[in-house]
Amino acid sequence: MNPFDPLSILSTIAQGPDNRYESGQRWTSRRSTVPGFVRDARFDADKATREEIVRKSRYFERNSYIVQRLCSLFEQYTVGPKGLKIVPNSSDKDWNAAAKVYWENSQQFINLTSQTRFEREQSLIARALFVDGECFLIKTRGRSRDGGQSFPRIQLVESHRVSTPPELLDNPMVIDGIELDERGRPVHYWIRESANSGVFAMMDAKWQKHKASGIIHVQDPSRISMFRGLPYLYAVLNDLHDLDDLQMLEMDAAKEAASKTLVIKTKTGELNRDNLRAKRLTVGGSAGTSGGSAQERTQYYDEAFRAKAVVMRSGDEYEQHVSNRPTVATQWFFEWQEAKVCYGAGISHLLAFPRSIQGTVARGTYECDNTFFLTNSGIIADAMREVWLYMMDWGTKNVRELSDPPVDWKEITIRPPRSVVVDLGRDFKAMIDSYKAGFISLDEICGPRGEDWRDVIDARAEERRYVRDKEKEFNLQEGELLGVVMEALKKAEPKQPAVVPVVKKEKVESE
């Protein structure tokens, strides 16, 4: 607006005030500039950016107590100690039983490069998902035996092995090791194989081309058309770095304060640490500065202080450095940084570092954690479903017990592990009450514990039959033996203090 031009003034008045979005202003003198442009995810998280984030994430996984704690919690509450329990749930009960036996027996040999049971390998998949943001599973085959068919196997591959071959770097349809079709759908994955590492990894590298149907890509993309996953810590890696630097500086300050020189004032002379050591090693010694021989004085100071010692001349002053680090404010800042890292990764600070807190607040926080873990458990469950279908598809064609499967043989149930609880006894009692009321099933009770409800019922029936046989063997009344056991368990339970009702006394006013 020109203040001297009447037309400009009238035009400004006619337009009215500028009702703008303050957050929509790119530059302002009141705040620092926020860098970045609006573009597709593959340009924001390109190969160089993604690998640098993965490099830092792996570093802190190796060296940070916070990341180790978060990784352990992620494994514990997404796959559990026994892995996700897969239960066949077709309409043919006999086929379900055979499929369950075949799946359990195959656990030892599913992984192509390991003899660890595959239910334990799920922990590796969960940790790779958290630290690297993704994990790749190759559907492959083992060695053929005596000319027979080879068994189906799964090979785990870390994220850095999936990359673009040098000859395809100019191909716009190959993005960070994933080849796309005209619709943008993955059709091939390029996986690098190399015996070298570091700067020599590319010298003799070879790539293998795998069909997308033979690859299980475990990831949780945060953007549309995001072909590669990012570590869960990507938003707080700088906070982790700052916290790591701060702790090292505080530790250096503490070590420096602990190694400060002790100063001894005497009437005459000065005796430094080197002289103390020299005189200690001298058999005869020389005359001391005052009070006894040098050997006696040296031995006295050495045994009394056990630190750097300097004897000052009379009249000299020395101010001893006293360290109060880390201060209360610094300790609070540590905790604040830890909380930022935890929440940035999706896990509450309360779960990572438990402390006393009001029960309702704790339950609300843990409910949010449960939702987070349940969501990520579903990601791994989808991958396990593909593994199970790959194994069973081969089994229906080559295993006699699995031949002629029902139409719905692909139906399975996958239960997540036990959720985070504040009071296990209270929650379990509430679960039993819900079961008695008919709102939940035994499967919902046993699944989070890594158990099949059918196995629980079978074990219970076997237990009752064994007890009944023992009662007949020893001429006991039916139910007597089990009743004694239950009574003993009941007596062993801690008794709750009785609640004495408080009777309010009414005040009777005299007339």
**Total domain count, the chain:** 1
In a domain, 135, yes or no: yes
- Supply the range of the domain harboring residue 160: 41-230
d(CA 153, CA 106): 10
In a domain, 310, yes or no: no
In a domain, 413, yes or no: no
In a domain, 139, yes or no: yes
Buried b / exposed e across 228-244, counting CB within 10 Å, b at 16+? bbbbbbbbbbebbeebb
In a domain, 155, yes or no: yes
d(CA 187, CA 190): 10
**One pLDDT digit (tens) per residue for the chain, 511 residues:** 566 667 766 666 655 556 778 888 888 888 888 888 899 998 999 999 999 999 999 999 999 999 999 999 999 999 998 899 898 999 999 999 999 999 999 888 898 888 888 888 999 999 999 999 999 999 999 877 666 678 899 999 999 999 999 999 999 999 999 999 999 999 999 999 865 666 565 667 889 999 999 999 999 999 998 999 999 999 999 999 999 999 999 888 888 777 765 565 655 555 555 555 555 555 444 444 445 555 565 556 556 555 555 555 556 666 666 667 788 888 899 999 999 999 999 999 999 998 888 878 888 898 899 999 999 999 999 999 999 999 999 999 999 999 999 999 999 989 888 888 766 666 677 778 888 888 888 877 776 665 777 778 887 888 888 888 888 888 888 877 777 766 776 666 555 554 445 545 554 444 3
Residue 86: strand pairing partners: 414
CA quadruple 107, 109, 111, 113: dihedral positive or negative? positive
d(CA 258, CA 278): 24
In a domain, 277, yes or no: no
List phi, psi (to 5°) of 280: -65, -35
In a domain, 69, yes or no: yes
* Type of residue numbered 265: K
Buried b / exposed e across 28-63, counting CB within 10 Å, b at 16+? eeeeeeeeeeeeebbeebeeeebeebbebbbebbee
**N- to C-terminal Cα distance for the chain?**
87
In a domain, 53, yes or no: yes
d(CA 252, CA 259): 11
Q: Nearest-CA neighbor of 71 among 352, 259, 433? A: 352
